[in-house]
Chain A
């Protein structure tokens, strides 16, 4: 099985794993069970790796990973997720993690997009402009 065909098969499996535009754990379990029955185990490794990468990427696309310094109210996290849901046109759920190295503010990552409103970034920008 070539790499291109593996990528195409993994993409098809990801499509089968979506339910309402989001990854469903039930569908993922069904896909894995079907794969285990239909193909020998030694041929599944590259396909499962590609499928896992696709699932992770799809899960990341649906998450707003918020790094924040200090406390962040749940309402604020929901407001951030709502903002990106509206901007991207799909449902995004907040996943918050505290990082005091940001000094203040937060950094949000949705998929490959990063929005940084932290004090550390502002200081770094200031240092770069001064140098």
Chain B
């Protein structure tokens, strides 16, 4: 008898008239449960063994769960936690990197602005220094030229005075020589008389 034919036989027994079911079943030792048991038994399934096997399986399942599955789940949770922590750290690091980059960019911009400002100031200072030096040189040049002109003028005046003095001296010396050679006593006497008259006035 196959498993399906046994099940069909059990259904047919349920659908038969209830005239002498209980008495005949009890008297023969047949019934659905007994059939099922008999069926399982034909397959080698024994209830006590099944119960024992279920207990064994439960014990084995408990042991496996307690010493294998649970630690593995714990490790997986720990790994998941570590991974999540790593991801969070990585995200925080990325954020800090972005902030650092932003701060760096800000500092770089500030430094660039400061450098530009310093460069502009340096250029202005250099330009002012050049202008001042140019003005000073111009003033010095003007002063030197004025002094040179004054010195030249002074030399010219001095030279003219010297020439004039020399010419005058020569003229007077020449006149004195001429007078000394040409004046006779009579003329000198008349000059003396004139001087006496001038003194008397």
**Residue positions of A touching B, CB distance < 8 A:** 68-73, 76, 79-80, 83, 100-101, 103-106, 108, 115, 117-120, 123-124, 126-128, 130-131
Contact = CB atoms under 8 A, between A and B. Distances in A.
B156 to A, nearest CB: 16
Interface in B168-201: 168-169, 171-172, 175-176, 179-180, 183-185, 187-189, 191-196, 198-200
* Interface magnitude class on chain B: 20 to 34
B172 A127 contact: yes
24 contacts: A69-B191, A69-B192, A70-B183, A70-B184, A70-B185, A70-B187, A70-B191, A71-B185, A73-B193, A76-B193, A100-B188, A104-B187, A104-B188, A104-B195, A106-B196, A117-B198, A117-B199, A123-B176, A126-B168, A127-B171, A128-B168, A130-B164, A130-B168, A131-B164
Contacts of B198: 117
A79 B191 contact: no
Contacts of A100: 180, 188
Contact of A68 (B169, B180, B183, B192): B192
Contacts of A71: 185, 188-189, 192
Contacts of A68: 192
B161 interface: yes
Contacts of A83: 199-200
A9 to B, nearest CB: 39
B191 A104 contact: yes
Q: Report whether over half of chain B's contact residues are helix, strand or loop; otherwise say mixed.
A: helix
A119 B165 contact: no
Contacts of A131: 161, 164-165, 168-169
Contacts of B195: 104-106, 117-118
B172 to A, nearest CB: 4
Nearest to A124: B172
The 4 A-B residue pairs with the shortest CB-CB distance, nearest first, are A70-B188, A131-B165, A104-B191, A130-B168
Nearest to A104: B191
Interface string B150-171: 0000000000010011011101
A43 to B, nearest CB: 47
Contacts of A117: 195, 198-199
A130 B175 CA distance: 14
Contacts of B179: 103-104, 119
B177 to A, nearest CB: 10
Contacts of B193: 73, 76
Contacts of B183: 69-70, 103-104
Given A104-B195, A130-B171, 20 more contacts: A69-B192, A70-B184, A70-B189, A73-B189, A73-B192, A73-B193, A83-B199, A83-B200, A101-B180, A103-B176, A103-B179, A103-B183, A104-B187, A104-B191, A120-B176, A126-B172, A127-B169, A127-B172, A130-B167, A131-B168
